[in-house]
Amino acid sequence: MMSNDHNKFEHPNRLHLSPGNFTNHPCEGFAVPPILFDKKRTGPRPCPVCYVSVDQAFALMPLQASPSPVLENLDYALEDSVTANFSNPGSAFGGHLSLEQRNKSFDITNSMTVHCGFVRGKKPGQGTGFDISDDDLLEMEQCRELVVASAIFGNYDMIQHPRNVNELSKANACFYMFVDEETMAYVKNSSSLYKDNKVGLWRLVVVRNLPYEDPRRTGKIPKLLLHRLFPNVRFSVWIDAKLQLVVDPYLLLERFLWRKNSSFAISRHYRRFDVYEEAEANKAAGKYDNASIDEQIDFYRNEGLTHYSPAKLPITSDVPEGCVIIREHVPISNLFTCLWFNEVDRFTARDQISFSTVRDKIRAKVGWMPQMFLDCERRNFVVQAYHRELLEQMIASGRNTPPIAVEPSRKIRPGSSRRAPPSKKPVVRRKKEKKSSSRRRAAKPVTWAMDAG
């Protein structure tokens, strides 16, 4: 069984702190202040978040993995065209799970084998659907500590460049953007920063033989199955392509995982807490065909899905804002995203609808569940941009567009050891950014950075 010794970790040269023990933590006593509402400004907005410094975040990184209740060994099912039952729901990529297989996957034991995409081929990305070149797969295997990942399929979004990333973080984290051939062709022809499959911090990985026609469903593969694509990584931060990261990713790990003794963090929806309300909102907005949403909700209702109420506390919401996922790759969190993906493969691609069902079934068995934080905290470290088509329409009409920050390309060497940043930082001259005349302005993050005394 995995050790709980990470709770005793102390960095020898920095703070005498440990995750879960905040006697002298720089953020001790900090609380999110009440949000002051401005009648002139409507809609959700960011709230203050207390971050430690990047050096302190590295000092607080646990030496050992978080505990995984009950489940210690997780393997993944492999099938071929002979054993697959194509009459079952889902896809060939997901393995066409029967209802019996689906239900059995929630019976958590010490050692399990579950469907988790990539059921064919030698390994994820090789002859499995969602195919990736051998060179890219080899490079991805070199990523050891943290991967920050995103994806664009169908050329739907513009690449958003992370800002405020510390040089030490750049040297130790990997930044991967998964794209299809259509998106890659657009990037090559339109980005002056493109060079050797990189744009700024992002390394672009072209995915071929996509298993779904719907780009939204294809995007759920890297979103939920990063542990399969990056088998040697400890932590991951998933960010939807419409978002720009504006806070160092190691600060997110410290704030939302290590400080909370959590292995999975996701923000709750800013307005909706109830799956039934979320389903109706999806139907009203035309997010998916109504019949498929109704079928999924009816299935969950028959399994016992209830409306959200305070009686469910300490669960604070049944509906996530799933555009950001911060997690540690341990067996129980890997199982959660595998089973969540299986629901997306079986039913609609609207993962907000299936989130609570998977969470509640796992919680009922082993007491584990994802940590959900405030949506206003999420809006502190990411800024939402416009989709590509809307941006192009704004440019064509002469309207000012929100500034898009860029960073110069920087090569990250593969390897598992911690690396120091270069002694001299490159000088980057920046032009003044014009403020957008649009009502949807890109707000600056409200950062409470605390340094050690």
Phi, psi (rounded to 5 degrees) for 268: -85, 160
Q: Tell me how far apart the alpha carbons of residues 359 and 367 are, in angstroms, rounded to a whole number.
A: 10
Q: Tell me how far apart the alpha carbons of residues 365 and 169 are, in angstroms, rounded to a whole number.
A: 37
Q: What is the pLDDT of residue 83?
A: 58
CATH number at residue 170: 3.90.550
Q: Tell me how far apart the alpha carbons of residues 356 and 308 are, in angstroms, rounded to a whole number.
A: 10
Give yes or no for residue 37 having a pLDDT over 50. Answer: no
Q: Is 78 contained in some domain? A: no
Q: Check residue 446 and report its DSSP letter.
A: -
Single pTM value for the model: 0.82
Q: Is 366 contained in some domain? A: yes
Cβ proximity of 328 and 265 under 8 Å? no
> Could you tell me the pLDDT band of residue 81, with boundaries at 50, 70 and 90?
low
> Could you tell me the pLDDT band of residue 126, with boundaries at 50, 70 and 90?
very high
Angle (CA) 332-333-334 rounded to 5° is 90
CA distances from 321 to 149, 238, 241, 270 (A): 17, 12, 14, 8
Task: Tell me the per-residue pLDDT of 302-323, one tens digit each, with 9 for 90 and over.
Answer: 999 999 999 999 999 999 999 9
Q: What is the pLDDT of residue 157?
A: 85
> Could you tell me the pLDDT band of residue 10, with boundaries at 50, 70 and 90?
very low
Note if the bond before 370 is cis, omega within 30 degrees. Answer: no
Give yes or no for residue 119 having a pLDDT over 50. Answer: yes
CA distances from 138 to 151, 230, 341, 414 (A): 19, 10, 25, 10
Q: Is 308 contained in some domain? A: yes
Q: Is 250 contained in some domain? A: yes
How many domains are there within the chain?
A: 1
Angle (CA) 337-51-370 rounded to 5° is 20
Q: Tell me how far apart the alpha carbons of residues 246 and 402 are, in angstroms, rounded to a whole number.
A: 15
Q: Tell me how far apart the alpha carbons of residues 153 and 157 are, in angstroms, rounded to a whole number.
A: 8
Domain, as residue range, for 145: 54-68+131-397
Q: What is the pLDDT of residue 190?
A: 85
- pLDDT > 90: percent of the chain: 69
Give the relative orientation of helices 351-366 and 215-224 as an angle to the nearest 10 degrees. Answer: 30
Q: Is 207 contained in some domain? A: yes
Tell me which of 142 and 196 has the higher pLDDT.
142
Q: Tell me how far apart the alpha carbons of residues 304 and 52 are, in angstroms, rounded to a whole number.
A: 42
H or E element: which one contains 266? strand 264-268
Mean pLDDT score, 231-246: 97
Give yes or no for residue 301 having a pLDDT over 80. Answer: yes
CA distances from 256 to 253, 271, 417 (A): 6, 21, 24
Cβ proximity of 240 and 254 under 8 Å? no
Q: What is the pLDDT of residue 204?
A: 97
Strand partners for 150: 177
Tell me which of 238 and 28 has the higher pLDDT.
238
Cβ proximity of 318 and 356 under 8 Å? yes
Strand partners for 113: 75
Q: Would you list the DSSP string of 299-345?
A: HHHHHT-----GGGTT---S-EEEEEEEEE--HHHHHHHHHHHHHHH
CA distances from 344 to 91, 197, 217, 378 (A): 10, 30, 8, 23
Alpha carbon 390 to its chain's center: 24
Mean pLDDT score, 261-289: 97
Tell me which of 313 and 33 has the higher pLDDT.
313
Q: Which residues contact 363 (CB under 8 A, 6 or more apart)?
A: 369
Give yes or no for residue 93 having a pLDDT over 50. Answer: yes
Q: What is the pLDDT of residue 79?
A: 85
Task: Tell me the per-residue pLDDT of 172-190, one tens digit each, with 9 for 90 and over.
Answer: 999 999 999 999 999 998 8
Q: Is 340 contained in some domain? A: yes
Tell me which of 286 and 386 has the higher pLDDT.
286
Q: Tell me how far apart the alpha carbons of residues 235 and 328 are, in angstroms, rounded to a whole number.
A: 4
Q: Which residues contact 126 (CB under 8 A, 6 or more apart)?
A: 132, 134, 137
Average pLDDT, the chain: 83
Q: Is 418 contained in some domain? A: no
Q: What is the pLDDT of residue 34?
A: 55
Cβ proximity of 403 and 434 under 8 Å? yes
Q: Is 29 contained in some domain? A: no
Q: Give the residue from 20, 9, 14 showing the smallest Cα distance to 260.
A: 20
